[in-house]
Amino acid sequence: MGRLKRGVTLAASAALVLTLAACSGDTSGSDSSSGEGTSAAPAAASGSALDLRGDCPSTVVVQTDWFAESEYGYLYNLLGPDRRIDTAKKRITGSLVSGGKDTGVNIEVRYGGPAIGSEQVSAHMYVDKSITLGIVSTDESIQNSRSQPTKAVYAPFDVSPMMIMWDKKVYPNFTTLVDLGQSDTKVLYYETDSYMQYLLGAGILRQGQVDGSYDGSPSRWVSADGKVAEAGFATSEPYIYQHELGDGHSYDVNLQLVNDTGYPVYGQALAIRSGDEKTLAPCLRKLVPIVQTSQADFMANPRPANDLIIAAVKADKASVWSYSPGLAAYAVQAMKDRGLVSNGSNSTIGDMDSHRVDRMIQILTPIYAGQKKPVKSGLTPSALFTNTYLNASIGLK
């Protein structure tokens, strides 16, 4: 799945890639508003479940698919008080901390999107073997199952935030994408987004109304004064279009999650290279429950991680990405209100359902075959995810 470039044009993305290529040296710095410093968290007891020394790499590297944002607050919540924002290399590094205890290893959260040339994270993981875990959605994992296989070990989203939205004022009677499909409304999306082929094949939308040339900029929506529909994320665009477009532009939107049309993708799951599982298993047994706890803590108290995210974005003067306190707060509330982050049908956060993954294989196998990108022969859910490393007792309260 291509990560939507929220309000960023392709030209701006290309400019950022050139800027990154021209950077040299470490321009990392700290921002006092985010609490950066040289203090350290107390160490976890040797040999405890929070002691990752000897089991995990000395630095656990996590490759995200976009800039710092609240959707990945659970990752930034793992960074200790000694964290450093590196604006040149587009990453934040610090002690990996759980519940105020230093686990004895570091964590490095790297930005994705333009920061890695807009390359798919699963592909980038095979280029840069220093990456321990990457953000990979189910459809991307299926697409690359032959040549760049990945296996999800944690699903931060029980429901993907991917959506299509429309202006309430322009289309007051629309409640679902079926309503859009029965109209002549143009639907803007990224041509690489696999779910659109599903929506067309299911007859929810029509080929003649969809436009895959969307580049993430709100310009076409604004020029049409909301008389188009647009793909995006339920955690960002609705707030941005109502509050942050500027020049007097404000649009109150309605939306439908792509998940609710019968496309049960696990969005932005935390995955390893499939061949690394045996080596990483001792680490994952301890690390994944720490990640579960971090997300539960973040959802209960998002302010510390959100402050770090906002400070990190602000510190990067060369970036085309911006992130406001209002958007950060909205993202967390949307995750709660729409059940995007939840325990699902049980009391465990981060687990995945094999029936949903199998459904995704059934949907996407003929689609990718038609695109001459056949998936791995005999692909099964067990090749794409595992719940082995989760602690079933850890969930949202």
pLDDT above 70 covers a percentage of the chain that reads 90
pLDDT digits (tens, 9 = 90+) for 157-201: 999 999 999 999 999 999 999 999 999 999 999 988 899 999 999
Q: Are residues 54 and 86 in the same domain?
A: yes
Q: Please give the pLDDT value at position 40.
A: 83
**145 and 71, same domain (yes or no):** yes
Mean pLDDT of 139-163: 98
DSSP letter at 206 equals -
Task: For the chain, give the mean pLDDT.
Answer: 91
Separation of alpha carbons 47 and 45, rounded Å: 6
Domain stops at, among 245, 261, 277: 261
141 & 289 share domain: yes
Query: Which domain-ending residue is among 261, 289, 316?
Result: 261
With contact defined as beta carbons under 8 Å apart, do 284 and 151 qualify? no
We report the CATH number of the domain holding residue 82 as 3.40.190.10
Residues 332, 328: Cα–Cα separation, whole Å? 7
Domain that holds residue 93: 22-158+266-383
Q: Is residue 275 part of a domain?
A: yes
Instruction: Identify any residues that bridge with 101 across adjacent strands, giving them in sequence order.
Output: 98
Q: What is the C-alpha separation between 264 and 171, in angstroms, rounded? A: 26
pLDDT at 38: 56
Average pLDDT over residues 328-342: 98
pTM as predicted: 0.90
Domain count, the chain: 2
d(CA 301, CA 92): 20
How large is the average pLDDT for residues 243-266?
A: 97
Whether the predicted pLDDT of 370 surpasses 80: yes
Are both 239 and 189 inside the same structural domain?
A: yes
- Give residue 318's pLDDT: 85
State mean pLDDT over 366-392. Answer: 96
Same structural domain, 61 and 152: yes
- Res 295 pLDDT > 70: yes
- Give me the phi and psi of 325, to 5 degrees please: -60, -35
